[in-house]
Structure 1
Amino acid sequence: MTQLYLIRHGIAAERGEYTNDAERPLIEKGREKTTKVAQRLKEMGIQFEIILTSPLVRAYQTAEILQKVGLTEKVERFNPLSPDGDLLDWVKWWSNSGYNKENSCLALVGHQPDLGNWAEMLLWGRSEEKLIVKKAGIIGLSLPQQETPVGNSELFLLSSPKWLS
């Protein structure tokens, strides 16, 4: 099974401070919490083959912190991780990427409610907007290789940053 970590971006500047929401950066507290979470993941022995991230500044900065701590060498912007992105675009990418293999470990850095909705779709085949991912929080899923991951994945981790730092 592929291990997939859905990671919400860290705490960002308030919406009113920026005219363009996509440009909101992480604030110092967000950088600190994200770094602590990343260090904890590193201590747990987690290593990502790739991190795909929303192109929005706060998400990309979160992915950069994960990379800087040594969780991956490869970070790529992935437009479907932008707010309101489509899970099926990612499923198509994953199915054809070469990362759809036994013992693969990937991370997606994005936004709420999308990450919670994507997790629900992968677990139950539908979204009910019940799963909440806190800023710098993580959902870990195991994805099957032989069938669609939608509705067939398994939850192995659901954690707020508080429990990882």
Structure 2
Amino acid sequence: MKIKNTPLINSLKGLAFVAIIALMTASCKSKKAVADLQPETTEPEVVDTPAPKPEPKPQPKVEEPSAEEVLTGRLNSYFSGIANASSLSAANRNINEATRLFSGNDAPVLIIFYAANGQEDFDEPTTISKYLNYLKDQGKNPHKVKEMVLDAQGKVKELVLVKK
């Protein structure tokens, strides 16, 4: 004969389950009480010394770019901004910002047009003011910074460019 699951049967099953859990818990507690009554042994305590913590691996140092590398990047960015400016006023604004990086508007700019076997041939020297206006007029930026000489204030005193 099969008994149907009725609410009464289900609650009896639940009560039986709770009773079993209660008995198991009481049994564990009584075992603990018996263990507490047993005399303590006088065995020396073993003190665990914490294992030495491994030293963290040194993080690879991210090298900060030098001031000259940052300045080189800024100059190349200004050169592109001037050559690709959307308007004459935007180009002039970039020229004014770029010239603040130089010791003066007449700072010499040397452009290498040929280099082989350690020999470099330069175009006729120009000034930064003339070079920036050249970029504005041509609308293209064919050169990048190769070298620069800075003054005591960290401004560009002389610039050497090379074809990209």
TM-score bracket relative to the smaller structure: under 0.3
Per the normalisation by structure 2, the TM-score is: 0.22
Structure richer in helix, relative to its length: 2
Q: Which has the higher contact order (CA 8 A, sep 6+)?
A: 1
